[in-house]
């Protein structure tokens, strides 16, 4: 597409489409059946098969007779040494950018909505969903099938157990689990008493 730059030593799989406004760094591996648009990718990024990155997110103004989409003019910014699993969807930002920090690994089937910002060195297991404008710190670990509500902040060094529903902000160095997610010690105590 238009305004596309691809760095040195990159490999791109079959049926992959690099649409407009994309910059790919050096030594990147992009799998098959990937679609990328409105995205800046740093060096040494590995994108597995079926990922869709940089399409507009789910945002609209509801009214009585129709829904009017609001604009998405932001980008997706992907840091160095990131891995994006199979069939991930990463929406472009609406009025700001969606960001994936350096050395973050995303398992398969992760959804990242518009304006989400994920820090460095995070590990996100399969089927995790991030609602729009959530802020994730550095060195965060999230178990499979967890859901992160929009417009909340997850601190640094947080661990979120699989299947958890995070509906409010979580401070640094906290381990949570359950729905709604709560401190892991309280979750275990409540489970024993339940």
Whole-angstrom Cα distance, residue 63 to residue 73? 22
Q: State yes or no: is 14 an active-site residue.
A: no
The length of the chain, given as a count of residues: 194
The 3-state secondary structure of 27-39 reads: CCEECCCCEECCE
50, two tokens? 């079926």
Distances from the Cα of 125 to the Cαs of 21, 79, 136, in angstroms? 29, 18, 14
User: Which residue of the set 14, 72, 111, 114 is catalytic?
Assistant: 114
Whole-angstrom Cα distance, residue 118 to residue 27? 22
Give me the residue label for tokens 């699989």.
Answer: 162
- Strand, coil or helix: 188: helix
Q: What is the DSSP letter of 54?
A: S
- Strand, coil or helix: 74: coil
Whole-angstrom Cα distance, residue 26 to residue 51? 19
- Strand, coil or helix: 184: helix
Q: Which residues form the catalytic set?
A: 114
């Amino acid at each position: 597409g238009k305004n596309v730059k691809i760095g040195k030593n990159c490999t791109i799989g079959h049926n992959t489409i690099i649409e407009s406004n994309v910059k790919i760094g050096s030594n990147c591996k992009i799998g098959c059946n990937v679609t990328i648009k409105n995205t800046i990718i740093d060096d040494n990024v590995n994108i597995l098969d079926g990922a869709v990155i940089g399409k507009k997110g789910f945002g609209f103004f509801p009214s009585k007779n129709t829904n009017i989409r609001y604009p998405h003019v932001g980008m997706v910014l992907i840091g160095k040494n990131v891995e994006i699993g199979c069939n991930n969807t990463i929406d472009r930002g609406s009025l700001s950018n969606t960001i994936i920090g350096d050395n973050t690994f995303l398992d398969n089937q992760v959804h990242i909505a518009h304006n989400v910002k994920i820090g460095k060195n995070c590990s996100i297991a399969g089927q995790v969903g991030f609602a729009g404008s959530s802020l994730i710190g550095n060195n965060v670990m999230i178990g499979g099938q967890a859901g992160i509500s929009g417009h909340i902040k997850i601190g640094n060094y947080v661990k979120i157990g699989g299947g958890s529903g995070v509906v409010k902000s979580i401070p640094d160095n906290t381990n949570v689990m359950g729905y709604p997610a709560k401190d892991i010690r309280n979750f275990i105590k409540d489970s024993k008493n339940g």
